[in-house]
Amino acid sequence: MRIAIVTASVGSHVRVYVEYLRRAGHDVTVLTNSPRYLDTDVRTIDVRPFWGHRFRLPLSLIANLRRRRLLAALTIGRYDVINCQMVMGDALDTVEAAIAPVVLSFHGSDLYRRAEQPGEFARRLPEALKKATAIHSVSAHMTEELVALGAPREHITTFQYGIDPLLFQPGIVRDQNLIVSVRALKPLYRVHLLIEALPTVLAAYPQVRLEIYDEGPELQRLQEMVKNLNLTSSVTFLGRQPLRSIAKAVGRAAVWASMAQSDGTPLSLLEAMAAGAYPVLADIPTLHEWVEPPMGTFVDAEPAAVAAGLIEGVRRAATEAHLERNRAIVEERANRSVNLARFEGMLEDAAGTASGETNR
């Protein structure tokens, strides 16, 4: 198939889909307004109107110019199917143009934080959901939200593309005093709550340590917070690490913690569940589809509740009662090799609608 991927995201999720489709033998082109995607060897079309900002044109005019460049590129490409990864304004323009069958892939914040998108995104989204050939949702809660907005339920397929269970496995030795955070250091993920909760946790378990992975704009603020709370001996910032290093970290950790404001189905949660770290989570509806207390602990997003949740997590992790059940859930529902093939089938089926046929 000739596949166009329309995306403003350069995150790892999109790259996984793109690389899988290329390895499967499909002709893939990425159309993006993010120049950072140009660093890869993927055939890429940059739809930004370069001179728009140079001449300080109104943002509405720049958006219109970008839309014209995008739709022209899609028309010329004569693609069998278009997949919009991370649904933003360009995705809505693509659906409305009806150039080829379109599959919308939602990731989480594109749906749950739609009111924060520029222009009239939130107003336009329901009509785009009705017109899309197919929709990919990563959680049952997300699917219900899409249906409530007008998406035909029969057009939605629900699954998270998943992880490699062979890479993420429980370590031979587990550190019962180790809590890990692997979310980006951005306001959305509220890593500061873990730091604010730590003094209370240390009062109960003095040997506990918090390892903070990844990077982001909040790094300096979080480092200063650690210093001000006299936690430098208990908190380590390890930055962005290779996936194998993350696998080792969650494989030896007692607790994996995330206080995100919103989430679809975070891969890092699935990785932690497969590797045996006990999940302590902000109470977000989508996550209840994966974590079943007491196989994990949900908390309110305030320091006292987070501290109580971490203390409970350290205690429960020591029993290892969660290990078998959590890993089984991931192996059954989130095996990457199985689910990426399922995604490929979605695109094949969508492409088949152009000729009145389906491929699966």
**Domain ranges in the chain?**
2-161+335-355, 175-333
Say if 2-161+335-355 and 175-333 have the same CATH topology: yes
Q: Is the pLDDT of residue 60 over 90?
A: no
User: Which CATH superfamily does the domain covering 175-333 fall into?
Assistant: Glycogen Phosphorylase B; (3.40.50.2000)
- Tell me which residue has tokens 């088949």: 352
d(CA 318, CA 295): 12
Question: pLDDT tens-digit profile of 191-229?
Answer: 999 999 999 999 999 999 999 999 999 999 999 999 999
Pull the structure tokens for residue 344. Answer: 């490929």
What does CATH list as the number for 2-161+335-355?
3.40.50.2000
Q: Identify the sign of the CA torsion 180, 183, 185, 186.
A: negative
Mean pLDDT of 1-14: 87
**Residue 227: what pLDDT?**
98
Q: At what angle do helices 267-275 and 243-252 cross, to 10 degrees?
A: 50
Q: Are strands 134-137 and 235-239 parallel, antiparallel or unpaired?
A: unpaired
pLDDT above 70: residue 10: no
Residue 328 corresponds to which tokens in the numbers above?
Answer: 């089984």
Q: Which residues contact 119 (CB under 8 A, 6 or more apart)?
A: 60, 63, 89
Greatest Cα pair distance in the chain = 66
pLDDT at 359 over 50: no
**Cα dist. 49→46, 119, 135, 136, 210 in Å?**
9, 18, 29, 29, 45
Give the distance, in angstroms, between the CA of residue 141 and the centroid of all CA atoms in the same chain.
Answer: 15
Helix orientation angle between 12-23 and 336-352, rounded to the nearest 10 degrees: 70
Q: Which two tokens stand for residue 325?
A: 């059940």
Mean per-residue pLDDT, 146-169? 96
Distance CA 311, CA 317 (A): 10
The DSSP string of 47-82 is ---HHHHHTT--HHHHHHHHHHHHHHHHHHHT-SEE
Model confidence at 50, pLDDT cuts 50, 70, 90, reads low
pLDDT of residue 63: 80
Rounded to whole angstroms, the Cα distance separating 242 from 248 reads: 10
**Does the structure show a pLDDT above 70 at 273?**
yes
H/E element, 158: strand 156-158
Angle made by CA atoms 67, 69, 75, in degrees to the nearest 5: 100
Q: What is the pTM of this model?
A: 0.84
d(CA 254, CA 330): 18
